[in-house]
Amino acid sequence: MTPDEKAQSLGIDLSAYTPSPTLAPATRVGSTIYVSGHVSGGYKGKLGQDLTVEQGQAAARVCAVQLLQAAYTLSGTLNNLRCVKLLGAVNCAPDFTEPHLVINGASELIWDVLGKESRGFHARSALGFASLPLGVAVEVEAIFEVVGEG
């Protein structure tokens, strides 16, 4: 199954993406696509205070769906993409020590779509923050490489 087909089988509509009117959702330089930080929408609050790790993982997955959709807007397919790096920001209580577990929600979706042992295997940082824009729980950005273009 191709990455586009895998995304579809997971219920992800790659073309159902509404970009911000004021910011570029993604930009391409050579064979690299830089995807802006995407936020967890309806998931708001602090991990370790208002939300559980499991809710944070669901929020991170929402971000990852948007990352894939944004990359798709530039490439027209996920089939020729490799995820190079994710940076995850977690809005958390001061004593919360599990941002890495929260961002697993994004990493696991990337693995499911692009393959954990191949083009989905990526470097990653997961950081805790005192606050994030609009009070969202999670924000994730990504870097993809375009490979195998014909």
How many domains would you assign to the chain?
A: 1
Residue 34: pLDDT over 80: yes
Please report whether residue 128 resides in a domain.
yes
132 within some domain: yes
Average pLDDT, integer, range 118-145: 97
Q: Each residue of 14-42: b (16+ CB within 10 Å) or e?
A: beebeeeeeeebbeeeeeebbbbbbbbee
Which pLDDT score is estimated for 148? Answer: 77
In a domain, 18, yes or no: no
Task: Determine, yes or no, domain membership for 21.
Answer: no
Full domain range(s) for residue 126: 3-12+26-146
Report how far residue 72's alpha carbon sits from residue 115's, in angstroms, rounded to the nearest whole number.
Answer: 17
Query: In the structure, what pLDDT confidence band is assigned to residue 149 with cuts at 50, 70 and 90?
Result: low
Rounded Cα distance between 102 and 124, Å, is: 12
Is residue 32 in some structural domain?
yes
Q: Is residue 105 part of a domain?
A: yes
- Average pLDDT of every residue of the chain: 95
Tell me the CATH number at 137.
Answer: 3.30.1330.40
pTM to 2 decimals?
0.94
Please give the residue that has the higher pLDDT: either 23 or 56.
56
Six token digits for residue 123: 């470097």
Tens of pLDDT, residues 49-107: 999 999 999 999 999 999 999 999 999 999 999 999 999 999 999 999 999 999 999 99
Share of the chain above pLDDT 70, in %: 99
Residue 20 counted as domain residue: no
pLDDT attached to residue 17 = 79
Asked if residue 125 is part of any domain, the answer here is: yes
Decide if pLDDT at 150 tops 60. no
